[in-house]
Each structure stands twice: as structure tokens, then as C-alpha cells.
Structure 1
Amino acid sequence: MPRKFLRKFSPDPAKLKQHKHLQFLGDTLHLPYLWHLNRRNVASAFAIGLFAMWLPIPFQSIIAALLAVFFRANLPLAVALVFVTNPVTMPPMLYAAYELGAMIVGHPGTGFNFEPSLDWLMNGLILIWKPFVLGIALMAVISSLAGYYGVHLLWRLHLLQHLKERRARKLRPKKSAESNDTPPPQD
């Protein structure tokens, strides 16, 4: 993976360590594995971020950060990936998760009539919670596994391409000083 690209968008660890609102974390932010950009840390961060983005609760990024510390993953990447879900993308994603769960459970009928009211949350959600939770759990696990193994695959392909280019450079004939001379003019 291109480390320069990832570092470009990653926050500076020194600035975060000095931030006044993060002082309660103590030395946790000083742990070097939270900032490393290697295959294992990046793949773990993708798995954590793509898992946490499916949680239909507020403050998903805090859960991703705690999981990144626990599993020794890249902290900024895990938190950033949670923001794939936002107010625009969350409703269709959660609806797709519900449909998947309903298909597996065999829930009668497709879809549900959503009403943004407290009454619907109290009564309507009770009717669909099983397929909804099953769909979210499946999508979270599938996304997490796809992210983890996808990063490993892409990292390996990038590494193989880099090695192939290095071998090609070594096999190219080098131009010597003699070949750079122009041949004498012929009359």
C-alpha cells in the first residue's frame, strides 16, 4: 500500500498527544503500534472501521478507537473508516441490512413502513428487530472480513508489482561510456 498516501491524510501523533481534550488517555496515545502503517496494522484498522460503521448507534468512532487500541491497529485509519456511514449513506445501508436479515429469517413481506416518530420506534421496531439485528451483524462481519483480507491482498499485489519493477530495472543493460560516444563520420 502506498504509505505516503496514507500518511498524507493521517493526523500528526505529536499534535494529538498534546491536545488538551485527549490528556485523559495518558500514555495510550504514545503507543507506537497505533500509528504504524504496516500490513497488519492497516488490515486490522480496515476490519475494525468497517465493522464499527455498521453499528446503528451514535459515537461509532469511539468504539472504533477503543477496538483499535485493544487489537493494536492503526488508530486514525480505524476511526476514519467509520465515517463511510453518514446521514446520507446510513439509511440505505441499514435498509439493505434489514432486507438481508428478513430474507434469511423469512420475515413476511418486504420492507416496512418507517415513520419518524416515537410511536413507530416503540411499536414498529419491535416487529422488525430480529431481521434488523441479524442483517447488521452479517453485514458488519462480511465488511470486516472483506476489508481485512482485501487489504492483505492489495498490499501483497502492490509488493509483487514493486519487486517485479525492481527486477526489470536490474535486468536492463546499463549504458557504458563507450556506447555513448558518437561513431566517427564516414566519408
Structure 2
Amino acid sequence: MPRKFLRKWSPDPAKLKEHKHLQFLGDTLHLPCLWHLNRRNVATAFAIGLFSMWLPIPFQAVLAALLAVFFRANLPIAVVLVFVTNPVTTPPMLYAAYLLGTAILGAPTAGFNFEPSLDWLMNGLILIWKPFLLGIFMMATLSGIAGYYGVHLLWRLHLLRRIKERRAARKSSRP
């Protein structure tokens, strides 16, 4: 992975450590593993961020940050990946998770009529909660696994390309 690109867009750890709303974390933000850009930290951060983005809860970024601290992953990457979900992308993603859950359970999807109301949230979710949660869990798990191994693969391919370029440069510089 291009470290220069990731460093350019990552927040400055020193500024975050001094932020008044983050003081309660104490020395936790001083852990170097939360800011390193190596294969393991970035891959774990991708897994955490892509897993957390599927959870239909408020403050997904806070959960991703706590998981990043617990698993010693890159904190900024884990938090930023949560924002793949937004008000535009969340409804189709959650509906796709529901459809996956119904396909796995063999449940009918004909009774699903969404209405943006409090009454539907109280009564409609009771009818679909099992396939909905199963679909979310499956999508979150698959996304996390794909993110983890995808980063490992892309990082490896990037390293192999750089090794090839170095070898080619050495051959061309020799008389």
C-alpha cells in the first residue's frame, strides 16, 4: 500500500492526543501501533471498519475506534471506513442484508413493506428481525474477512511490483 498516500490523509496523532474531548483516553492514544502503517495494522483496521459499517447502530465510528484500540489496529483507517455507510448507501445495504438473511433462512420476503414511521419500526421489525440480523451478521463478517485478506493481497502485490522495479533498475544500471 502506498504509505505516502495514507499518511497524507491520516490525522496528526499529536493533535488528536491534545484534543480536549479525547483526554479521557489518557495514554491509550499514545500507543504507536494505533498509528503505524504496516500490513497487519492496516489489514486489521480494514476488517474492523468494514465489519462495523454494517452494524445498524448509532455511533459506529466509536465502536470501530474501540475495536481498533482493542485489536491494536490502525485507528484512523478503521474509523474512516465506517463512513462508507451514509444516509444514501445504508438503506440499500440493509435491504440487501435482509434479502440475504431471508435466502439463508428460506423465509418469504413478500410481507416486507417498509414505511418510514415509528409504528413500522415498532411492529414491522418484529416480523423481520431474524433474517435481518442474520443477513447483517453475514455481510459484516464477509466484508471484514474480504477487507482483511484483500489488503494483505494488495500489499503483497505492491511489494512484488516494487521488487521487480528494483531488479530491473539494477540490471539497467550495470554495464
Q: Is the 8 A contact 2:101 2:132 kept in 1?
A: yes
Q: Is the 8 A contact 1:49 1:64 kept in 2?
A: yes
> Could you tell me how far 1:173 is from its partner in structure 2?
4.3
User: How does the TM-score come out when normalised to structure 2?
Assistant: 0.97
Q: Percent identity?
A: 80
Match of residue 179 from structure 1: none
User: How does the TM-score come out when normalised to structure 1?
Assistant: 0.91
d(CA) in 1 for partners of 2:16, 2:26: 12
Moved more, 114-123 or 142-151: 114-123
Q: Which has the larger radius of gyration?
A: 1
Is structure 2 residue 7 aligned with structure 1 residue 7?
yes
Match of residue 21 from structure 1: 21
Q: Is the 8 A contact 1:48 1:68 kept in 2?
A: yes
Q: Assess, with a 3 A threshold, how the Cα gap between structure 1 residues 124 and 143 changes in structure 2: closer, same or farther.
A: same
Q: How many residues align?
A: 175
Match of residue 37 from structure 2: 37
Root mean square deviation, CA, Å: 1.0
Structure 1 segments unaligned to the other structure (5+ residues): 176-187
Deviation readout 1:13-68 (Å, 9 max, x if unpaired): 00000011111110010000000000000000000000000000110000000000
Aligned partner of residue 45 in structure 2, secondary structure: helix
Q: Is the 8 A contact 1:64 1:79 kept in 2?
A: yes
d(CA) in 2 for partners of 1:152, 1:47: 11
Deviation readout 1:121-179 (Å, 9 max, x if unpaired): 1111000000000000000000000000000000000000000000011111446xxxx
> Could you tell me how far 1:109 is from its partner in structure 2?
3.1
Match of residue 73 from structure 2: 73
Q: Is the 8 A contact 2:44 2:148 kept in 1?
A: yes
d(CA) in 2 for partners of 1:54, 1:111: 23
AA of the residue aligned to 1:148: Y
